[in-house]
């Protein structure tokens, strides 16, 4: 019964399994992937397609990497999991040492969790418990900017963009947060000082209620692949200090070199009070995340009743994930990753920017190993998705955005083929 053929497998998938943001009536049949290796996905019928998505930012060193495989296998043969309450282990400790080496140096205390969304929940709880511990429990709301995305769990959802996010469906049960417009000043462009005015006004009026400002530094991902000016972060850091508001950097997408810096906060030389990392932390091998905070936050929470931080997931500090994450960070740090990302950036810019003259394209933008082609209208997924595959590439657009974040191991001829696949697909759908 379980040795199913293609049609049987797809029938079960289509009728019984939810995919991300999907309908069980979806007209698009998902690709059945049987193997992934390097920068290639292999489909059930023997096609080999270049992966332009790194499995949503995560597989930075490509698939089936021998170093990561060995780290996983070795750890698996030793111990795949033990509870983290009252116990500890080498993989968690070695990973901590590596994280402490690469994060902004004010961040010294690490909370491991199972996914990006949970690491955001943890960050938000830390901020609320910090103010509670300081006898300022009225500071329990959050500020953020429009266009953001921080995950699909409850409080994470409350700070996602109210229009792009899921607020209209869940608004009656979501906590109400404060939103300011996102900066109009673009990354690398001119700074317009009025971009920070709304934050200043909000803080003046509501600082006694706000625990923290949360944002994705420099690159807003799922909220529009939008790259904004570094000066916004500089000014925001100053205002947060002035008004006693914590700053949470959600680096779940931007972390581990993707924007050309290890963490995107470094573009503005600022240190957040709390930083979330996830996605590429295990090189795309398994779900894992971490929330890192300052000593002041950790100490304040620990010094005051109840004296413990109130969170503790079952799979916290999972040894298998820690061992892979540790190997993944070493791989990155022992490589010339800045040069690699700079080369990817240059080639993405050269190969994608000619699309800007296409009548259906609104804008092309590139930062680090991220290439974005913003169309004038939302793409027709049912039509475009199979065409990308036909042209040998795996690209998963959303809304008006066709975008890629290749694995750092992608060589220039593979990246050329990826960009060609994107161009050929756009030409086939919209004409030359």
Q: Which stretch binds ligand PMP (CB under 6 A): 7-15, 81-89, 96-104, 112-120?
A: 112-120
Half-sphere exposure of 427 (CA within 13 A, CB side): 11
Q: Which stretch binds ligand PMP (CB under 6 A): 110-118, 193-201, 305-313, 321-329?
A: 110-118
Tell me the CA distances in angstroms from 169 to 118, 143, 287, 308, one per residue in order.
21, 21, 27, 35
Alpha carbons 262 and 221: distance in angstroms, whole number: 17
The minimum distance between CB 94 and ligand PMP, in angstroms, equals 23
The minimum distance between CB 22 and ligand PMP, in angstroms, equals 15
Residue 144 binding ligand PMP, by CB under 6 A: no
279 as an active site residue: the answer is: yes
Work out whether the CA dihedral 49, 54, 55, 61 comes out positive or negative: positive
Residue 117 binding ligand PMP, by CB under 6 A: yes
Nearer to ligand PMP, 161 or 351 (CB): 161
| Binding map of ligand PMP across residues 59-98, x = CB under 6 A, - = no contact | ----------------------------------------
Alpha carbons 146 and 161: distance in angstroms, whole number: 5
The minimum distance between CB 301 and ligand PMP, in angstroms, equals 23
Alpha carbons 164 and 148: distance in angstroms, whole number: 9
Alpha carbons 109 and 39: distance in angstroms, whole number: 34
Neighbours of 38 (CB within 10 A): 18
63 as an active site residue: the answer is: no
Residue 253 binding ligand PMP, by CB under 6 A: yes
Which residue among the candidates 250, 273, 285, 408 is catalytic per the annotation?
250
Closest CA to 195 of 246, 230, 245, 156: 230
Residue 249 binding ligand PMP, by CB under 6 A: no
Q: Which of 195, 250, 345, 351 binds ligand PMP (CB under 6 A)?
A: 250
The minimum distance between CB 7 and ligand PMP, in angstroms, equals 31
Residue 252 binding ligand PMP, by CB under 6 A: yes
CA 405 to chain centroid, in Å, comes to 11
134 as an active site residue: the answer is: no
Residue 422 binding ligand PMP, by CB under 6 A: no
Nearer to ligand PMP, 289 or 332 (CB): 289
Residue 278 binding ligand PMP, by CB under 6 A: yes
Nearer to ligand PMP, 38 or 223 (CB): 223
For the purposes of burial, counting CB atoms within 10 Å of the CB of 58, is it exposed (0-12), middle (13-18) or buried (19 or more)?
Answer: buried
Number of residues that bind ligand PMP (CB under 6 A): 14
408 as an active site residue: the answer is: no
| Binding map of ligand PMP across residues 217-236, x = CB under 6 A, - = no contact | ----xx--------------
Alpha carbons 425 and 405: distance in angstroms, whole number: 17
Nearer to ligand PMP, 117 or 294 (CB): 117
Alpha carbons 178 and 57: distance in angstroms, whole number: 28
Dihedral class, residue 363 (left if φ above 0, else alpha if ψ from -120 to 50, else beta): beta
Instruction: Name the residue whose CB lies closest to ligand PMP.
Output: 116
Which residue among the candidates 112, 130, 149, 226 is catalytic per the annotation?
149
- For residue 425, give the 3-state DSSP assignment: helix
The minimum distance between CB 152 and ligand PMP, in angstroms, equals 6
Which residue among the candidates 98, 279, 400, 423 is catalytic per the annotation?
279
| DSSP string of 123-171, one letter each residue | HHHHHHHHHHHTT-TT--EEEEETT----SSHHHHHTS-TTTSSHHHHT
Q: Which stretch binds ligand PMP (CB under 6 A): 131-139, 187-195, 249-257, 320-328?
A: 249-257
Which residue among the candidates 21, 172, 339, 432 is catalytic per the annotation?
21
Neighbours of 283 (CB within 10 A): 29
The interface with ligand PMP within residues 145-174 (CB under 6 A) comprises 149-151
Which residue's entry shows tokens 């590596």?
98
Nearer to ligand PMP, 38 or 151 (CB): 151
Residue 116 binding ligand PMP, by CB under 6 A: yes
The minimum distance between CB 57 and ligand PMP, in angstroms, equals 7
With b for 16 or more beta-carbon neighbours within 10 A and e for fewer, the 362-399 pattern comes to eebbbbbbbbbbbbeeebeeeebbebbbebbbbbbbee
Q: Which of 68, 110, 120, 298 binds ligand PMP (CB under 6 A)?
A: 120
Residue 393 binding ligand PMP, by CB under 6 A: no
Catalytic residues: 21, 149, 250, 279
Q: Which residues bind ligand PMP (CB under 6 A)?
A: 115-117, 120, 149-151, 216, 221-222, 250, 252-253, 278
């Amino acid at each position: 019964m379980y040795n199913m053929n293609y049609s049987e497998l797809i029938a079960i998938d289509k009728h019984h399994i939810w995919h991300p943001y999907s309908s069980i009536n979806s007209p698009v049949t998902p690709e059945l992937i049987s193997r992934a290796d390097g920068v290639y996905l292999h489909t059930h019928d023997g096609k080999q397609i270049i992966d332009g998505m790194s499995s949503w930012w995560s597989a930075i060193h490509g698939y089936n990497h021998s170093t990561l495989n060995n780290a996983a296998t070795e750890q698996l043969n030793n111990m795949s999991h033990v509870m983290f309450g009252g116990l500890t282990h080498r993989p968690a400790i070695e990973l901590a040492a590596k994280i402490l080496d690469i994060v902004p140096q004010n961040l010294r205390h690490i909370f491991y969790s199972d996914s990006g969304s949970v690491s955001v929940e943890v960050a938000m709880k830390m901020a609320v418990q910090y103010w509670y511990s300081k006898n300022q429990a009225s500071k329990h709301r959050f500020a953020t900017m429009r266009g953001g995305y921080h995950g699909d769990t409850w409080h994470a959802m409350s700070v996602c963009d109210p229009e792009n996010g899921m607020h209209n469906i869940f608004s009656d049960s979501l906590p109400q947060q404060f939103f300011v417009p996102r900066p109009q000043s673009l990354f690398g462009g001119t700074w317009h000082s009025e971009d920070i005015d709304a934050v200043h006004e909000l803080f003046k009026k509501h600082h006694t209620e706000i625990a923290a400002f949360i944002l994705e530094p420099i690159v807003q991902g799922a909220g529009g692949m939008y790259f904004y000016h570094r000066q916004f972060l500089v000014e925001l850091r100053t205002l947060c200090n002035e008004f006693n508001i914590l700053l949470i950097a959600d680096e779940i997408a931007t972390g581990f070199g993707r924007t050309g810096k290890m963490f995107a906060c470094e573009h503005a030389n600022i240190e957040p009070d709390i930083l979330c990392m996830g996605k590429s932390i295990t090189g795309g091998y398994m779900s894992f995340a971490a929330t890192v905070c300052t000593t002041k936050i950790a100490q304040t929470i620990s010094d005051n009743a109840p004296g413990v931080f109130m969170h503790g997931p079952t799979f916290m500090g999972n040894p298998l994930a820690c061992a892979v994450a540790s190997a993944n960070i070493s791989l990155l740090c022992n490589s010339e990753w800045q040069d690699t990302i700079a080369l990817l950036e240059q080639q993405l810019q050269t190969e994608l920017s000619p699309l800007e003259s296409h009548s259906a394209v609104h804008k092309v933008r590139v930062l680090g190993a991220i290439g974005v082609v913003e169309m004038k209208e939302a793409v027709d997924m049912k039509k475009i998705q199979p065409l990308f595959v036909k042209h040998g590439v795996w690209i998963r657009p959303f809304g008006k955005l066709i975008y890629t974040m290749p694995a750092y191991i992608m060589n220039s001829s593979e990246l050329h083929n990826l960009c060609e696949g994107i161009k050929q697909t756009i030409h086939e759908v919209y004409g030359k």
